[in-house]
Amino acid sequence: MGSLVEEIEGEREYDVEETIFVAVGKNVEKSKTTLFWAVQNFPGKRICVLHVQRPTHVLALTQGKLARNKLKQHAVEAFQKLERPKMHERLEEYMLILDHAGVQADTVWIEMDSVEKGIVEIIVRHSVRWLVMGAAADKYYSKKLLQPKSKKAIFVCQMAPVSCHIWFACKGYLIFTRIGGKDRSNIEIATLSPPLDSPVRTVQLEFLSSESVHRVRSLDVEEDTDVIKGKLRPVSWCSEHLNLSSSEVVDTYGSIPLQRDEEEEYQGQASNVTDQLLELSIMDDHNLKQNMFAETVKQWKEENDAMEAKCKAKALECLCVKEMSRRKEMEELLEREKQEVQKMKDQHDELMKELQVVKDQTKVLESQIADSQCTVEELDEKFFSAVELLISFKKKRDDMQIEHGNAIRVLKDLRKLVHGENASFPGTQILEFSFMEINNATRNFDPSWKIGEGKYGSVYKGLLRHVHVAIKMLPSYGCQSLLEFENEVEILSRVRHPNLIMIIGTCPESRSLVFEYLRNGSLEDRLACKNNTPPLPWQTRTRIASEICSALIFLHSNKPCIPHGNLKPSKVLLDANFVSKLSDSGIYRLIPQGERTDISASSCTKANPEVASVYMDPEYLENGKVTRESDVYSLGMLLLRLLTGRPALGLLKDVKCAIETENFNMVLDWSAGDWPLAEAQLLAHLALRCCEKLPLNRLDLVSEIWSVLGPMSESCINSASCLGAKERCRIPSHFVCPIFQEVMEDPLIAADGFTYEADAIRGWLESGHDRSPMTNLKLEHCSLVPNYALHQAIQEWQQQW
Ligand SMILES: Nc1ncnc2c1ncn2[C@@H]1O[C@H](COP(=O)(O)OP(=O)(O)OP(=O)(O)O)[C@@H](O)[C@H]1O
The letter for the amino acid at 609 is P
Q: What pLDDT does residue 191 have?
A: 38
Residues 305 and 226 in one domain: no
Verify whether ligand 1 is closer than 6 Å to residue 468 (CB atom): no
The alpha carbon of 453 and the centre of ligand 1 are apart by a number of angstroms equal to 7
Verify whether ligand 1 is closer than 6 Å to residue 512 (CB atom): no
Higher-confidence position of 65 and 666: 666
3-state SS class at 417: helix
Q: What pLDDT does residue 359 have?
A: 95
Verify whether ligand 1 is closer than 6 Å to residue 475 (CB atom): no
Residues 723 and 744 in one domain: no
Q: What is the ipTM of this complex?
A: 0.89
Q: Which of 459, 568, 745 to mutate to test the pocket of ligand 1 (most atoms within 8 A of CB)?
A: 459
Residue bearing the CA closest to ligand 1, atom 16 = 454
The percent of residues above 90 in pLDDT, for the chain, comes to 38
Contact 232, 238 (CB under 8 A): no
At residue 13 the predicted structure's pLDDT band, cuts being 50, 70 and 90, is confident
The alpha carbon of 435 and the centre of ligand 1 are apart by a number of angstroms equal to 21
Verify whether ligand 1 is closer than 6 Å to residue 695 (CB atom): no
Residues 526 and 457 in one domain: no
End residue of a domain, out of 690, 715, 731: 731
Residues 635 and 593 in one domain: yes
Does 472 count as an annotated binding residue?
A: yes
Verify whether ligand 1 is closer than 6 Å to residue 584 (CB atom): yes
Verify whether ligand 1 is closer than 6 Å to residue 517 (CB atom): yes
Higher-confidence position of 116 and 204: 116
Higher-confidence position of 571 and 495: 571
Verify whether ligand 1 is closer than 6 Å to residue 681 (CB atom): no
Verify whether ligand 1 is closer than 6 Å to residue 544 (CB atom): no
604 pLDDT more than 70: no
Mean pLDDT of the chain: 78
426 contact partners, CB below 8 Å, separation of at least 6: none
Residues 287 and 271 in one domain: no
- Report the 3 state secondary structure along 596-626: HHHHHHHHHHHCCHHHHHHCCCHHHHHHCCC
Residue bearing the CA closest to ligand 1, atom 4 = 518
3-state SS class at 732: coil
The percent of residues above 70 in pLDDT, for the chain, comes to 74
Verify whether ligand 1 is closer than 6 Å to residue 131 (CB atom): no
**Burial zone of 637 (CB within 10 Å; 0-12 exposed, 13-18 middle, 19+ buried):** buried
At residue 344 the predicted structure's pLDDT band, cuts being 50, 70 and 90, is very high
**Window from 85-94, 655-664, 672-681, 786-795 with minimum mean pLDDT:** 85-94
Q: How far is CA 355 from the centre of its chain?
A: 32
| Segment 126-173, tens digit of pLDDT | 899 999 999 988 777 777 888 898 899 999 999 999 999 999 999 888
- Report the 3 state secondary structure along 314-347: HHHHHHHHHHHHHHHHHHHHHHHHHHHHHHHHHH
Residue 50's domain is classified under what CATH number?
3.40.50.620
Verify whether ligand 1 is closer than 6 Å to residue 109 (CB atom): no
Verify whether ligand 1 is closer than 6 Å to residue 527 (CB atom): no
Q: What pLDDT does residue 681 have?
A: 94
Residues 194 and 51 in one domain: yes
Strand pairing of 747-749 and 503-507? unpaired
Range of the domain at 672: 519-731
The alpha carbon of 728 and the centre of ligand 1 are apart by a number of angstroms equal to 28
| Segment 620-658, tens digit of pLDDT | 888 888 899 999 999 999 999 999 999 999 999 999 999
Residue bearing the CA closest to ligand 1, atom 24 = 454
| Segment 531-557, tens digit of pLDDT | 889 999 999 999 999 999 999 999 999
The alpha carbon of 459 and the centre of ligand 1 are apart by a number of angstroms equal to 7
Q: Measured from the CA of 607, which atom of ligand 1 is nearest?
A: 26
Q: Which of 517, 518, 531, 583 to mutate to test the pocket of ligand 1 (most atoms within 8 A of CB)?
A: 583
Verify whether ligand 1 is closer than 6 Å to residue 570 (CB atom): yes
Q: Measured from the CA of 524, which atom of ligand 1 is nearest?
A: 29
The alpha carbon of 454 and the centre of ligand 1 are apart by a number of angstroms equal to 6
Verify whether ligand 1 is closer than 6 Å to residue 146 (CB atom): no
Residue bearing the CA closest to ligand 1, atom 18 = 454
Residue 625's domain is classified under what CATH number?
1.10.510.10
Verify whether ligand 1 is closer than 6 Å to residue 588 (CB atom): no
Across the range 716-724, mean pLDDT stands at 62
Residues 261 and 327 in one domain: no
Residue 761's domain is classified under what CATH number?
3.30.40.10
- How many structural domains compose the chain? 5
**Window from 306-320, 605-619, 757-771 with minimum mean pLDDT:** 605-619
Strand partners, 165: 130
Residues 340 and 466 in one domain: no
Verify whether ligand 1 is closer than 6 Å to residue 455 (CB atom): yes
Residues 412 and 510 in one domain: no
Q: Measured from the CA of 581, which atom of ligand 1 is nearest?
A: 1
Verify whether ligand 1 is closer than 6 Å to residue 613 (CB atom): no
d(C-alpha 524, C-alpha 527), whole Å? 5
Q: What pLDDT does residue 89 have?
A: 79
Higher-confidence position of 591 and 167: 167
Max mean pLDDT range (107-116, 302-311, 344-353): 344-353
The alpha carbon of 461 and the centre of ligand 1 are apart by a number of angstroms equal to 11
At residue 9 the predicted structure's pLDDT band, cuts being 50, 70 and 90, is very low
End residue of a domain, out of 488, 517, 546: 517
Residues 513 and 559 in one domain: no
Q: Which of 442, 449, 451 to mutate to test the pocket of ligand 1 (most atoms within 8 A of CB)?
A: 451
Q: H or E segment at 507?
A: strand 503-507
| Segment 394-438, tens digit of pLDDT | 888 888 878 877 777 777 777 666 655 444 444 456 788 899 999
What count of other Cβ atoms lies within 10 Å of the Cβ of residue 284? Answer: 7
Contact 531, 523 (CB under 8 A): no
Residues 247 and 127 in one domain: yes
End residue of a domain, out of 731, 749, 769: 731
**Window from 249-253, 396-400, 710-714 with minimum mean pLDDT:** 249-253
20 pLDDT more than 90: yes
| Segment 442-485, tens digit of pLDDT | 999 999 999 988 877 899 999 888 888 999 998 765 556 677 77
Residues 271 and 290 in one domain: no
Verify whether ligand 1 is closer than 6 Å to residue 460 (CB atom): no
Q: What pLDDT does residue 137 have?
A: 82
Residue bearing the CA closest to ligand 1, atom 25 = 454
Tell me the backbone φ, ψ of residue 8, rounded to 5 degrees: -70, -45
218 pLDDT more than 80: no
Q: What pLDDT does residue 606 have?
A: 44
Higher-confidence position of 709 and 590: 709
Higher-confidence position of 27 and 248: 27
Q: H or E segment at 544?
A: helix 538-557
Q: Measured from the CA of 566, which atom of ligand 1 is nearest?
A: 27
**Window from 167-171, 222-226, 552-556, 776-780 with minimum mean pLDDT:** 222-226
